[in-house]
Structure 1
Amino acid sequence: MKNGAPSYTQREVITTQIYPSADQACTYVADAITDLVSERNAAGQPTVLGLATGSTPVRLYRELIRRCQAGLSFQRVITFNLDEYYGLSGDHPESYRRFMQDQLFDHIDILPENTHVPDGLAAKDEVFESCSDYEAAMREAGGLDIQILGIGRTGHIGFNEPGSGPESRTRLVTLDSLTRRDAARDFLGEENVPRHAITMGVGTILDARQIFLLAWGEAKARVIAESVEAPPSESIPASFLQGHPNCVFCVDEAAASHLTRLRYPWLVGPVDWTETMTRKAVVWLAQKSNKPLLRLTDEDYTENAMADLLTEKGSAYDLNIRIFNTTQHTITGWPGGKPDADDSYRPERRIPFPKRSLVLSSEPTDDVFCMGGVLHRLANQKHQLTVAYLTSGNLAVPDTDVRRSIELIIELGERLDDVAEVHFARKVEQQLDAKGQFGEDSSDLRRLKGLIRRGEARSSARLLGIDPAQLRFLDLPFYETGRYRRFQITKADVAAMVTLLNEIRPHQIFATGHGHDPLSVPALSFEVLQIALRACAGADWLKDCWIWLYRGPGVEWEIHEMDMAVPLSPDELDFKIKGIYQHQTQRSQSPGGSKQDANSWNLASALNRATAQAYDALGLAEYEAIEGFKRFRS
């Protein structure tokens, strides 16, 4: 803990500032850069910046572009990028040189000769010398004044994968399998992701005079906590930043959620024992003690820094019963509400029945992966169900699947003497051949990939008892005209959502994206929803509309976060798995980045079963599987 820091940060070795949003965090870092650049410009001196790529710093770069347009000059700024994929030329669409040009350099007045990115095309026998020259250029420029960092889910900074120590310098590295899996969509398949990269070393990064590490979204929460609170270790290279005298982590609330002060605040200081905090603490205590809720004792509370909870709320006996009942009341087999039943302790209202239920899926598969069982229930329980796929998901379709479809279209068209179909298929085939392994998809190719995913979504819906006529495909423009990490919401996206909402007039909405990386497809889809809901503020239907959040593929809400837990029978779980299996183009995807299991249907099954087991361990009824939801109150 830094001297003078508040007691609740006592476990944090690195100064960590938490912001309500990524934009506010980026404003803070942009202020620091602006102040330094302005000071150096006035003195006629250069400013040397170390820059990062990926979705994390994009909002920072947009803010710097805005400031340049407002008068801040970057003509004296010299930049050095952290890393580059080995084997990619600077004009490759996924090279980091291309990324920096697109996201920053082409939009500010920086001199081209002052921008430096490692040479991804250096010959193997010249890589060492090229890396040494890169380090020498940094020293000659005066050293890095400010280094901007993101962080990978393996704890890597730059491409310093686990095993990288504080003595490492700029070098050629082999990429971790999880890192390559995370980049798979950018490269249209993991098999296309380069296996090597050139990166500044941890030691090179530590030489910078000031470091800002940025992190957004719940996917980064675990590794942020380990980097900030756990002892430095080569298994988490970012943890070596603990040794830097001027390093600040700037994170949003989702990325900070595993820090002790947020996750277990009773362990580091006084707590305001709200009902939400009480439920969180008691469930944690039961799980830590490996006991059902009703068997926790006064000693369990006092021995785990929760004596003040007993003092404020009463005995363990009373607390246990209250939290047990609260948790039990989240369980329902009627996600749309049960008609003709007392709903005093049910998570969803019994009236109106049937409900107009709107399920928003940011990409095809998100809905069935996360709530396939609930989709089946809503359909069987005769609610007026609409499933809206907000984006086509065409960027996630491998070329091999498209080629198979092209061959089918050509053969069928020739047999039916359909000249137009054959002509289109052959044109797309030529575009596929021309773009090669790493080129960008043409509009025709993306359209065909989108149609493939529509077919998969319809097949999945039929298995879940949903008429394909109940499906909507919005194909929001931000996705159709963009690329991963480079999406931007438009007025047309919001208009399409407003039209859908006012047409359906839903009583309940199921959505995902809350707490995700702000530039991810789910987060942007959720942002479109929120803007659209504000636009519908005066609508009478909105007063009676509840919003239920599902967490996202590969993860689930923690028990204390769930407001509705829907049990699945073995048959219902089987329907769900078969529904996921219909998404053939996504079968090799691993939504949660799991090294254990790359098959999405097995990952979903294991996740739902684990949730049921967690409820069972707390002393509640035993179920085959459970899907969880959190009510969103804006």
Structure 2
Amino acid sequence: MHTSESQQRERIRTEIFADADAASRQLAGEIAALIRERAAAGKGVVLGLATGSTPVRLYRELIRMHREEGLSFKNVITFNLDEYYGLTRDHPESYWRFMHEQLFNHIDLPAAQINLPNGTLPRGEVFGSCRAYEDKIAAAGGLDLQVLGIGRTGHIGFNEPGSTRESRTRLVTLDGLTRRDAARDFLGEANVPRHAITMGVGTILDARRIVLLAWGESKAGVLAQAVEAAPVDTLPASFLQGHPNVRFYIDGSAASALTRMRHPWLVGPVAWTPEMARRAVVWLSHTVGRPVLKLLDEDYSEHGMADLLTEQGSVYDLNIRIFNELQHTITGWPGGKPGADDTHRPERAEPASKRVVVFSPEPSHDMLGMGGTLRRLVDQGHQVTVVYQTSGNLAVPDADALMATDFVSDLAGCFPGEAGPAEAFARVVRGELLEKSAFVGDSAQVRRLKGLVRRGEARASIKLCGLAEKAVRFIDLPFYEEGRYRQFKPGAADREAIARLLAEVRPHQIFVTGDRDDPSSVAGVCFSLVGNACVGFAGDDWFSDCRVWLYHGVETPCDAAEIDMAVPVSPRELSQKTQAIFPHRSQRGHSAVASGLREPWQQAEKQNRDLATTYDALGLADYEAIEAFRRWMPGA
């Protein structure tokens, strides 16, 4: 299946694109060409379609081609992969509604040619309906092209681990991680359906062509397994290896765990740049279980790296150089140490007091990713501004909002006869919350209250970090307030808000996250807005004296070899960071990572301690914990 030496471990043809938009344009162009070719011959096209955030960019491009290039879908029949069981078609999270909002309502596809599994049938009728769905696909001539995404469990459609290669359309029970990943869409995990109807793996494999799309680093590990490891039923996407015409179209972040990207020296000759040499030596140290300074000639030769020694000198010189590079990333002065020689320090010494902007996509990202460093910056006299880019109201469970209305009512009860607008507002919101079903989207008033809940949590958290309230900005970007998960559309108002803030503060340092997240996620959108603003300021004098540092979320840990600044966190500072995360009560138990940890503070603590353990194993100082940063250059 591989087409080059570097792809020799890949069992599925995988193409890496500059970004999700480029990959989506490529596939949209191929779909358009197929539709036009068949239409010219008087024939139709049968498409298998996916839902979720991954194919949204594809659908937007197809809509654009319909509107601007005259692409007609009148000769197309569609079959969707799956549907939640128990949701009505008008439910905000039903895939029927999703597909109509994201694609069908905007093109000329006849309604009679749209097919989705029926998730509203009585249980006794589901089996027959699934058989009928299979028969309808066959009667249409089979799927010409099936579009897929991939879940963090390795599922395609809702074929969870344990699905067989021969499985057909059926009712399935959803994996716990899949349900937790959908929790925000459903305003809480308790509201996520436990079952879904999905095409089977066998149904998918019957398609004449398959294209799987994937964005973001959270998909990298499972994608690499699907592409490079032997097929197993614990990873349903790996069964795609047996298909004669399958392609994966992915972005660089999703590709980051492929051997040709992560360890290219294992699959062919490489250009031994300083960055590549560092990555290889760190990997070798981990692989053989020896500190960098104790690596031997035979370690290099036995692991396919003899040419590195040939190019870059003796093992002693190479080990010393890489060790020094790693050591120079460590600093207790994330804003630079005043009056010190900064030749080998990550940050410059001057100005001694820097203007620092920390962007947080939602309240809590800042504390989870860099709470210890944030406290250091404050304690060391820098002028820190924390910018919460969105209100985070979509992530607040109804129960937490009800608690807030109870508090306001109880407070008003302390002053009989003096009820004011606040109590009236709380009463109205409480009524809406009690009357709505668990699946109904929030009104503007409910979202406003939930935003206030997040603000209160953020203020309490930031105070524990030593920051004054005046150092905090809540800018409530419109793309978030006007949208919902999977359907964000940033616009000019969002871009202007970020640019205006940066032009006002003119920072010496910017800390931002989300560069490796799914570009459709809150963090991904927020990073793109900051990144675009930085590119726009690239020619300004103040920006030439500004450095941009990337921090990492709890689900995107940083490889030690790519760290540019490592800030040690002492046991006391780690405890303080944990305490500063606690006020974000509405987010507790809201996510899950591969470790299975549910609480955000546990995830952050583990990530920081694991990195310290890694540095210790490389032969560097033994710290309690470390927060990591990479330097980002606009346009690089």
TM-score by length of 1: 0.98
Q: Please point out which of 23, 26, 35 is paired with 2:24.
A: 26
Instruction: Give the corresponding residue for 2:602.
Output: 602
Deviation at 1:515, TM superposition (A): 1.6
Decide whether the 8 Å contact of 1:569 with 1:623 is kept in 2: yes
Instruction: Give the corresponding residue for 2:451.
Output: 450
Deviation at 1:519, TM superposition (A): 0.3
Q: Secondary structure at the match of 1:222?
A: helix
Q: Secondary structure at the match of 1:426?
A: helix
Q: Which amino acid is 1:626 matched to? A: I
Is structure 2 residue 510 aligned with structure 1 residue 512? no
Instruction: Give the corresponding residue for 1:619.
Output: 619
The whole-number CA distance in structure 2 between the counterparts of 1:474 and 1:453 is 13
Instruction: Give the corresponding residue for 2:498.
Output: 497
The whole-number CA distance in structure 2 between the counterparts of 1:238 and 1:194 is 22
Decide whether the 8 Å contact of 1:555 with 1:607 is kept in 2: no
Decide whether the 8 Å contact of 2:218 with 2:555 is kept in 1: no
Instruction: Give the corresponding residue for 1:284.
Output: 283
Instruction: Give the corresponding residue for 2:370.
Output: 371
The whole-number CA distance in structure 2 between the counterparts of 1:259 and 1:599 is 29
Is structure 2 residue 186 aligned with structure 1 residue 187? yes
Deviations 1:18-51 (A, max 9, x none): 1011111111111111111001111222110000
Is structure 2 residue 405 aligned with structure 1 residue 413? no
CA RMSD, 1 decimal: 0.9
The whole-number CA distance in structure 2 between the counterparts of 1:397 and 1:152 is 24
Structure 2 unaligned regions, length at least 5: none
Decide whether the 8 Å contact of 2:292 with 2:619 is kept in 1: yes
The whole-number CA distance in structure 1 between the counterparts of 2:249 and 2:603 is 32
Matched ranges for 1:352-391 at <5 A: 352-391=351-390
Matched ranges for 1:257-272 at <5 A: 257-272=256-271
Decide whether the 8 Å contact of 1:82 with 1:158 is kept in 2: yes
Instruction: Give the corresponding residue for 1:483.
Output: 484
Q: Give identity over the alignment, percent.
A: 58
Instruction: Give the corresponding residue for 1:67.
Output: 65
Q: Which amino acid is 2:608 matched to? A: N
The whole-number CA distance in structure 2 between the counterparts of 1:232 and 1:538 is 51
The whole-number CA distance in structure 1 between the counterparts of 2:618 and 2:538 is 40
The whole-number CA distance in structure 2 between the counterparts of 1:22 and 1:530 is 16
Deviations 1:242-279 (A, max 9, x none): 00000000001111111111111111100000000000
The whole-number CA distance in structure 2 between the counterparts of 1:122 and 1:166 is 26
Instruction: Give the corresponding residue for 1:553.
Output: 554
Q: Which amino acid is 2:8 matched to? A: Q
The whole-number CA distance in structure 2 between the counterparts of 1:538 and 1:617 is 42
Instruction: Give the corresponding residue for 1:252.
Output: 251
Q: Secondary structure at the match of 1:166?
A: coil
The whole-number CA distance in structure 1 between the counterparts of 2:208 and 2:454 is 49
Q: Which amino acid is 1:223 matched to? A: V
The whole-number CA distance in structure 2 between the counterparts of 1:178 and 1:389 is 28
1:92–1:595 Cα change, 3 Å:
farther
Instruction: Give the corresponding residue for 1:139.
Output: 138
Which segment is superposed worse, 33-42 or 277-286? 33-42
Q: Which amino acid is 1:216 matched to? A: W
Instruction: Give the corresponding residue for 1:12.
Output: 10
Decide whether the 8 Å contact of 2:554 with 2:603 is kept in 1: no
Deviation at 1:146, TM superposition (A): 0.4
Decide whether the 8 Å contact of 1:550 with 1:629 is kept in 2: yes
Aligned residues: 631
Q: Which amino acid is 1:605 matched to? A: E
Matched ranges for 1:20-419 at <5 A: 20-69=18-67, 70-416=69-415, 417-419=418-420
Q: Which amino acid is 1:420 matched to? A: P
Q: Secondary structure at the match of 2:568?
A: strand
Q: Which amino acid is 2:589 matched to? A: S
Decide whether the 8 Å contact of 1:178 with 1:595 is kept in 2: no
Deviation at 1:594, TM superposition (A): 4.0
Decide whether the 8 Å contact of 1:47 with 1:76 is kept in 2: yes
Greater than 4 Å deviation, 4+ residue runs: none
Q: Which amino acid is 1:206 matched to? A: L
The whole-number CA distance in structure 2 between the counterparts of 1:95 and 1:527 is 28
The whole-number CA distance in structure 2 between the counterparts of 1:444 and 1:594 is 36
Instruction: Give the corresponding residue for 2:425.
Output: 424
Instruction: Give the corresponding residue for 2:566.
Output: 565
Decide whether the 8 Å contact of 2:284 with 2:300 is kept in 1: yes
The whole-number CA distance in structure 2 between the counterparts of 1:40 and 1:443 is 46
Deviation at 1:75, TM superposition (A): 1.1
Deviations 1:90-120 (A, max 9, x none): 1100000000000000000000111111000
Q: Which amino acid is 1:17 matched to? A: E
Q: Secondary structure at the match of 2:249?
A: strand
Deviation at 1:532, TM superposition (A): 1.6
Structure 1 unaligned regions, length at least 5: none
Decide whether the 8 Å contact of 1:170 with 1:198 is kept in 2: yes
The whole-number CA distance in structure 2 between the counterparts of 1:442 and 1:405 is 16
Deviations 1:451-471 (A, max 9, x none): 110110010111111111100
Deviations 1:396-449 (A, max 9, x none): 000000001101111212333133122111111122123221101000110110
Deviation at 1:538, TM superposition (A): 3.7
Which segment is superposed worse, 405-414 or 284-293? 405-414
Deviation at 1:595, TM superposition (A): 5.1
Q: Secondary structure at the match of 1:360?
A: strand
Q: Which amino acid is 1:601 matched to? A: W
Q: Secondary structure at the match of 1:187?
A: coil
The whole-number CA distance in structure 2 between the counterparts of 1:229 and 1:596 is 24
Q: Secondary structure at the match of 2:414?
A: helix
The whole-number CA distance in structure 2 between the counterparts of 1:340 and 1:325 is 22
The whole-number CA distance in structure 2 between the counterparts of 1:566 and 1:439 is 44
Q: Secondary structure at the match of 1:431?
A: helix
Which segment is superposed worse, 11-20 or 547-556? 547-556
Deviation at 1:385, TM superposition (A): 0.4
Which segment is superposed worse, 158-167 or 410-419? 410-419
The whole-number CA distance in structure 1 between the counterparts of 2:586 and 2:42 is 56
Decide whether the 8 Å contact of 1:414 with 1:422 is kept in 2: no
Deviation at 1:537, TM superposition (A): 3.4
The whole-number CA distance in structure 1 between the counterparts of 2:356 and 2:241 is 49
Deviation at 1:224, TM superposition (A): 1.1
